Structure 1
Amino acid sequence: MALDRITLSQFRNHRATRLDGTAQFNLLVGENGAGKTNVLEALSLFAPGRGLRRAALPDMPAQGGDGGFAISADLSPLEVRLGTGVRPEKPGRRIVQVNGAEAPAVRLGEWLSIGWLTPAMDRLFAEGAGARRRFLDRLVLALEPGHARNAARAEGALRERNRLLGEEAEPDPQWLDAIEAQLAEAGAAVAQARARLVERLSAALSALPDAPFARPELAYQPGGPIGAEELAARLAEGRRRDRAAQRTLTGPHRDELGVVMAGKGQVAAECSTGEQKAMLIAITLAHADLLDRERPGLLLLDEVAAHLDPVRREALFDRLRGGGAQVWLTGTELPPFEAILGEAAVWRVSEGLAERL
């Protein structure tokens, strides 16, 4: 799958940008702040969820505009037109369209799979477990679009259970039973999807050499039982403890993704920043391989080449060249991308305008 005839209207600093004649490699070059990452963010909104910046919808429209924005693109070779954005009168409600007809955002995942790697993710292994859960869920969502619905149901039930446990009066046991049943059903589905993803990623990573990218070993560390019946029983047993703690202490919201650098046996958080970046790239490439087997899509790589030496850059381009994904890269200058310039579609971005080179 590939996107072409991409238009951005009133999105961030792009008043009216059009990108035609795309290729497997697509390169956006320009100074910092020119709007390169804004293009990647716009493309990431063709996936369910909040995009690569996790920004709120009211933050996305161009300043000085009417409060709305629109993004559209052709999905080839299917001859499908995708669109998303917000209307000025409802800036907090995202609209998704497929061939002009409105559709739920989750349906985007049925047409296109999207993965990305940004500089903001460089601290993934040093941040709290919540960041790694969000990272894991995004990887799952690209393969299993229904994961978004299960995650939303689990989060809603968890909030309601915590609210009931935090009330001064003793909660109604029957009401708690109902909430916990919902949390257990949805939470187990979330946990099982995460476990499947880690197993598949681990198998893909095990086939990779340790060089030139550091190879990570992954471990799914559940925050509770991953079976619905077992989780429901654990929640019921823990009511008194959770009421004292004013929060739910077991379940998928306590999951962790363990990452260790193969060969060294060192946890990722204790590795060098270069090793952490290399492991992130390895995970991203392994995930892209999994996507290729399902339905090839987009891979968005923001400023990834600038932090790699020539050997690793060439290895990265070779891996991407052999995959089925349409790749979008950003950089401040052309030399780091010399190996792919002959086959790439290149745009220079400046002040929200994109000029084809």
Structure 2
Amino acid sequence: MKTLALTQLTLSHFRSHKRVELDVSAQPIAIFGPNGAGKTNLLEAVSLLSPGRGLRRAGADDLTRRPEALGWKITAHLLSLGQTHEIETWAEAGGPRQLRIDGKSAPQTALGRIGRILWLVPSMDRLWIEGAEGRRRFLDRATLSFEPGHAEAVLTYEKAMRERNRLLKDMVRDPHWYTAIELQMAEAAIMIQANRRRAIAELTTAQEAAATAFPTATLALTSPDPIPDDLQTALADNRGRDMAAGRTLIGPHRADLEAVFADKGVEAKDCSTGEQKALLISLILANGRALAADFGAPPILLLDEVAAHLDANRRAALYDEICDLGAQAFMTGTGQELFAELGDRAQHIEVTETDGHSTLIRKVAT
């Protein structure tokens, strides 16, 4: 199995970090320190080395260090399948995010072709009990890890749907205005649905094939209204209903990810907080195992406050699985004792904060 890992990470005026230069190996990285010290900011920087807006979905201006507001820059060396790539992403004050890979300007989708990054953050702990949008986003991140072109299909669909919704709100009834838009939506929807189903199949197979301390989730793709095979015709037939609602009521934008705790037959939304967290971790690990086979190397994992709601035994099991997978995992917690079970299998970094300035200190395993 080949390696996917960051070897160098440099941050300039990013969030609370004025200047950070970090050299790391492919081992897991245990990052600890008090709340507000800047631990999650490090993980967010790494998440921006994948397509999209990162784990906080922040705009470019929100990432710059205050009060300077000079803009920000992230530079990284990524070892991917035996080749090292230099990635630079940045935004000048008030400007858009930009990207260079190996010295050449590149679209964000190119990041998905040279690496895979998965994350689990505390806001996702409520994934199973809040709205469908968060679960769609979770599924689409997993889908994107298998098929980098999925993002383009989703963007195409959403752009066309916004145009159709504008026509609906303006009460435009002439069918000629809708034909091309609905065709574009239907073509993109076919790819979106196929990609999502593939991701669910990959996650299911990876869960079933593994002996793990974490529960298995039975997954299903659902929708309030079934998405017809001939979406173009259905959209045309539903214009009257959609016009009354002022929006499009059928399509993959209404899909939901359903999960059931397999051993208990209980829907994830009805499980305990600890069980819901364990199901999420199970899916992230399954995603990692599937990607190790599909991409040729396990993904980089970003696990923010991962020890929350885990007892010592399950925490130790998680660390064992990460090490067995061979993934470079950036993990955060408030104290170094939360990573005691890792010992010298991980690099330990303490993050402190003084007057809004974060500082990194390497530590030995305890």
**Paired position in structure 1 for 2:55:** 52
1:173-232: CA deviation from partner (whole Å, max 9, x where unpaired):
1220111001111122111111111111112222345x63222110111454364xx111
**Paired position in structure 2 for 1:86:** 91
Matches within 5 A, 1:177-326: 177-209=179-211, 212-222=213-223, 223-225=225-227, 227=229, 230-295=230-295, 296=297, 297-326=299-328
Q: 1:326: Cα distance to partner?
A: 1.0
> More displaced, 290-299 or 233-242?
290-299
> Which stretches in structure 2 are left out of the alignment for 5+ residues?
none
Matches within 5 A, 1:109-128: 109-128=112-131
The partner residue of 1:68 within 66, 71, 76 is 71
- Paired with 1:63 and 1:217, the residues of 2 have a C-alpha distance of 45
**Paired position in structure 1 for 2:25:** 22
Q: Secondary structure at the match of 1:217?
A: strand
Amino acid at match of 1:255: A
Q: 1:100: Cα distance to partner?
A: 1.8
- Paired with 2:24 and 2:215, the residues of 1 have a C-alpha distance of 35
**Paired position in structure 2 for 1:33:** 36
> More displaced, 36-45 or 299-308?
299-308
- Paired with 1:67 and 1:125, the residues of 2 have a C-alpha distance of 39
Q: 1:355: Cα distance to partner?
A: 1.5
Q: Secondary structure at the match of 1:356?
A: strand
Q: Secondary structure at the match of 1:212?
A: coil
- Paired with 1:131 and 1:66, the residues of 2 have a C-alpha distance of 30
1:301-333: CA deviation from partner (whole Å, max 9, x where unpaired):
111124311211121111111113211111111
CA contact (8 A) 1:154 1:186 kept: yes
The verdict on how the C-alpha distance between 1:89 and 1:313 changes in structure 2, with shifts beyond 3 A counting, is closer
Amino acid at match of 2:293: R
- Paired with 2:240 and 2:253, the residues of 1 have a C-alpha distance of 19
Q: Secondary structure at the match of 1:253?
A: helix
Q: Secondary structure at the match of 1:126?
A: coil
- Paired with 1:328 and 1:226, the residues of 2 have a C-alpha distance of 41
> Which stretches in structure 1 are left out of the alignment for 5+ residues?
none
Amino acid at match of 1:330: T
RMSD, matched Cα: 1.5
- 1:102 maps onto 2:99 in alignment: no
- Paired with 1:176 and 1:50, the residues of 2 have a C-alpha distance of 31
Q: 1:245: Cα distance to partner?
A: 1.6
User: What TM-score do the two structures reach when normalised by structure 1?
Assistant: 0.95
Q: 1:103: Cα distance to partner?
A: 0.6
- Paired with 2:204 and 2:345, the residues of 1 have a C-alpha distance of 32
CA contact (8 A) 1:30 1:349 kept: yes
- 1:13 maps onto 2:19 in alignment: no
- Paired with 1:214 and 1:344, the residues of 2 have a C-alpha distance of 25
- Paired with 1:187 and 1:224, the residues of 2 have a C-alpha distance of 13
Q: Secondary structure at the match of 1:304?
A: coil
- Paired with 1:83 and 1:262, the residues of 2 have a C-alpha distance of 43
Q: Secondary structure at the match of 2:290?
A: helix
**Paired position in structure 1 for 2:360:** 354
CA contact (8 A) 1:73 1:83 kept: yes
Amino acid at match of 1:34: A
